[in-house]
Amino acid sequence: MAEEAPNRGRARALSPDAMNRMLALLNEDPGRAEQEFLALRRKLVKFFEWRGCTMPEDLADESIFRVASQLGEGLVIQATQPSCYFYGVARNVLREHWDAARKEAVEIDCVDQERHLSIDPDEMAERESERERREQLIERIEMCMKGMPPDARAMLMEYFGQTGHDKIVARNQIAQRMNISINALRLRVLRLKQDLRQCVGACPTDE
Amino acid sequence: MQPGRTEEDKLIVGYLLGDLSPEGKEQIELRCITDDEFFERILVIEDELIDDYARVELPPVEHDLFERNFLTSPERRRKVEIAKGLVEWACRSRGLAAPGAPQAAPGGWWKSVWSYMTVDRVRYPRPPFALMAATMCIVLLGGSWLIRQHLRQRSRFDQAVTEVAALRQQAIDLQEQVGSQRARGDELSRKLRERESVMSSQQPEQELSAQPRRPSVETFSVAPLVRGAQGEPLVIHPGTQLIDLQVSPGSKDRYESFRAAIATPDGQMVWMQANIQPPSSSGLKAISLFVPADALGSGDFILTLSGRSPDGTDEVVTEYALRIVWEPARER
């Protein structure tokens, strides 16, 4: 099912004034306002992702565009937490997105069923090469790990090299050794994994 | 990730797996948009869910929800792939087998079953299911038949053992009966000899020599009184001194002792004996009542057998109708 963001493909023009008003709404300090804008956008992207949208960034941008447009048209937002207003708009965008997706699904259902073959020869071939791709992925991870600080690499190895109860014990030991809380350790691992994903994604592929 | 989950963590997991009410979702989203720490926490839990899925450590329900509601975008599938790769890299680096990775088949009889379940399905397709099902059916049916046969044989054996024990007990009972009958015969002989010696001293020798030799004890087995019926007469020969009436109290185990009384039909008692011991001790089923022959003339009598219960109360066990007929030669 192809995803169609609301108003996608429509010509967009956001005036500098609207953009500035939006940033001022987030924070009076322009430097902090930009940071808050990026954080807010990230949250909106995750919101759409968690709601199962396949193109969450487009929908987050659509939400931001709508708020900024309204501000450019003179709307005054009285909310103590402006992000809540963005959230409200994002929910409307999500609803419109699902309505559009539902209509599209009906149209697809009308298509002759014989055109939707369940046996895909390409998929069979893909399964064949799954193991090889996995090996390539591990090679990339290995490569990215070598670029990490040795203590971070050792920590990830220990963190992910255990299962079940041993995993819990290992995490407690790591946190004690690093003199940080378990939650801080979890956050640190999240950051390292985000870096790792970025690195793996940026690696040249053989495919 | 699952052990030690707080209630809030569970709510977040439910949210991420699409298993939360609309109101619950809204609450989490509003908090997430206004609370940076909470947002980070959701990110951590989301990442750990991916790790747990990659390690095949999610509970079945969450595993299903994860596949149905979470793996909905290529980006997320990519994250799962990387997580699997990371786990495998860490395990290989530590010389361990990664969870979910192909494992060495364990030894033993189920090795082949394990291999069947874990073999690469694309390269080595399973044999037809019907063949497997048929094989399993044969094994199960054969096994159940063998078990049934074994149980049947066991039952027959137990039955035979029971029968042998019963026969053995019967033999013991018979031996006891023979012994007691012999003892009773000896006792009767002794009493008879005593009585004969008494009589011989009282009667003239010529009279004794003129009388035919008759048994001094007549034994009869009497049946309980049946209304409207009259049993065979008990014929007493001249010279009979004792009448042995054998009666069978049915429920002998209920009584400590018995009491026997013989009366005429109009209620006049002619003989009575109390404190008769139940026959169980001797192995006999009947009680012998030795009634002096001279107590009974020709005529009808009623023998009443009463039992004494352990609480001291007497009750009539049964009644017998007796028709005594003395042979004319000795009619008195």
For chain A, the structural domain boundaries read: 16-109, 129-202
pLDDT, residue A168, reads: 85
Interchain CB distance below 8 Å, A160 and B82: no
Q: Are residues B154 and B66 in the same domain?
A: no
Q: How far is B13 from chain A (nearest CA, A)?
A: 11
- Asked if B330 and B239 touch (Cβ cutoff 8 Å), the reply is yes
Mean pLDDT calculated for residue range A167-173: 87
Interchain CB distance below 8 Å, A163 and B82: no
The DSSP-derived string for A13-77 is: ---HHHHHHHHHHH-SSHHHHHHHHHHHHHHHHHHHHHTT-S-HHHHHHHHHHHHHHHHHTT---
At B188, the amino acid letter reads L
Please report which confidence band the pLDDT of residue A72 belongs to, taking 50, 70 and 90 as the band edges: confident
- CATH numeric code, A129-202: 1.10.10
In CATH, what number is assigned to the domain containing residue B261?
2.60.40.1930
Residue A165: its chain B contacts at CB < 8 A?
A: 3
Q: Are residues B188 and B219 in the same domain?
A: no
Closest partner residue to A84 (CB to CB) among B30, B48, B92 is B30
Instruction: Report yes or no on B308 lying in a domain.
Output: yes
What is the bridge-based pairing of β-strands B314-326 and B242-247? unpaired
Determine the 3-state secondary structure of B103 from DSSP.
Answer: coil
Q: Are residues B151 and B232 in the same domain?
A: no
Instruction: Report yes or no on B2 lying in a domain.
Output: no
d(CA B169, CA B95): 74
Restricting to A residues 128-167, those with a Cβ less than 8 Å away from any Cβ of B are 128, 134, 137-138, 140-142, 145, 156-161, 163-165
Residue A156: its chain B contacts at CB < 8 A?
A: 86, 90
pLDDT, one tens digit per residue, over A77-126 is 877 788 888 999 999 999 999 888 887 766 655 555 444 555 566 766 76
Q: Please say if the pLDDT value at position A180 is more than 80.
A: yes
Q: How far is A15 from chain B (nearest CA, A)?
A: 26
Tell me which of B201 and A28 has the higher pLDDT.
Answer: A28
Tell me which of A47 and A111 has the higher pLDDT.
Answer: A47
Interchain CB distance below 8 Å, B86 and A156: yes
d(CA A128, CA A122): 10
Residues in chain B predicted with pLDDT less than 70, given as ranges, are 1-4, 96-145, 150, 155, 157, 160-162, 164-167, 170-171, 174-175, 178-179, 200-215, 225-231, 251-252, 280-284, 329-332
Q: Are residues B166 and B100 in the same domain?
A: no
Instruction: Report yes or no on B204 lying in a domain.
Output: no
Q: Are residues B224 and B174 in the same domain?
A: no
Please give the tally of structural domains in chain B. 3
Instruction: Report yes or no on B270 lying in a domain.
Output: yes
Q: Which of B97, B118, B139 is the last residue of a domain?
A: B118
Interchain CB distance below 8 Å, A134 and B51: no
Interchain CB distance below 8 Å, B34 and A159: no
State the complex-level ipTM.
0.75
Determine the 3-state secondary structure of B242 from DSSP.
Answer: strand
| Domain extent for B75 | 7-108+113-118
Q: Are residues B261 and B301 in the same domain?
A: yes
Tokens of B14: 């439910």
Q: Are residues B221 and B326 in the same domain?
A: yes
